[in-house]
Amino acid sequence: MIIVTGGAGFIGANIVKGLNQRGRTDILVVDDLTEGTKFTNLAEVEIQDYLDKNEFLHRIKNNDSFGQEIEAIFHEGACSTTTEWNGRFMMENNYEYSKSLLHYCLGRGVNFLYASSAAVYGDGKIFKEERSYEKPLNVYGYSKFLFDQYVRRIMPQSRSQIVGFRYFNVYGPHESHKGSMASVAYHLHQQLPKTHIVKLFEGCDGYGNGEQRRDFVFIDDVVNVNLWFMDHPKKSGIFNVGTGASQSFNDVAKSVIAWHGKGEIEYIPFPDHLKGRYQSFTQADISLLTQAGYKEPFSTVEQGVKAYLDRISR
């Protein structure tokens, strides 16, 4: 059996779909369906069972076997709202929950693959998996950073696989439930049919209008990385998951406009509440990932946005 926490969410649901495409349906999905619209992500995949995240944590703390051998746990469940400033909630949900699950896996020899985030790097210019480059700007990033630090101390003694994935700007199908936290590609695709206009922020931090740059990574590539590590259980570590090449928000907007065959870009004032808390540039250093043996190419924004919009418009 494979367990996917956050399996009704964006990345989790796509991992479940990727496992299905391999013929795997012996999957236990763990999530919180208080936000019930996420059920639609599960309706498109095949799973063995579903469990609420609180009940799952209770059973983890009781060292429950779940009735069968667990091959791997993909831990994608977290509060990923970067604007959430309730630190107690964030640390309990993202940090303490993850520690409990990690120790369960260590005790049973279960491979543990978990979601970290590029938010650990803050507004730095170098995005390399080293402590000197890590300085989160918000409590979400701190919760991910602190768990990575915890993992680093434990990993040398672990007899089973531990892999952390520092996701950069992921976009693709099954993200609509995320609301304001959904990708810019999703939001621009929603805007354009209504007004024939897509809106981007004016320039900041020395970048021109819409020229802030991010490492935008298509969800299919993220799933491929996760499943590659599942196939290579001797590989452990914390790895950036991005394309290794930044592209501008203008590139995303132009790709959405090209898909629709119409539209214009409008630049709006940069929000005051984001000043000093915004990553104007991200670009994953993926040298550790390639050194581990992962060699598959990543989609460009132009390729990924087209594949994304083609898929959700069928």
Contact assessment for residue 168 and residue 282, using Cβ atoms and an 8 Å cutoff: yes
Can you give the three-state secondary structure of 228-245, one letter per residue?
HHHHCCCCCEEEEECCCC
Contact assessment for residue 93 and residue 78, using Cβ atoms and an 8 Å cutoff: yes
3-state secondary structure of 113: strand
Bridge partners (DSSP) listed for residue 266: 199
Active site residue 235: no
| Measured distance CA(44)–CA(59) in Å, rounded | 27
Active site residue 104: no
β-pairing verdict for 169-171 and 72-75: unpaired
Q: Say which of 104, 140, 171, 308 is annotated catalytic.
A: 140
- Please name the residue that has the structure tokens 């990553």: 279
Token pair, residue 237, equals: 């570590």
- Please name the residue that has the structure tokens 């993850």: 98
Q: Say which of 53, 178, 199, 306 is annotated catalytic.
A: 178
Find the helix or strand (DSSP H, E) in which 152 lies: helix 139-154
Active site residues: 140, 178
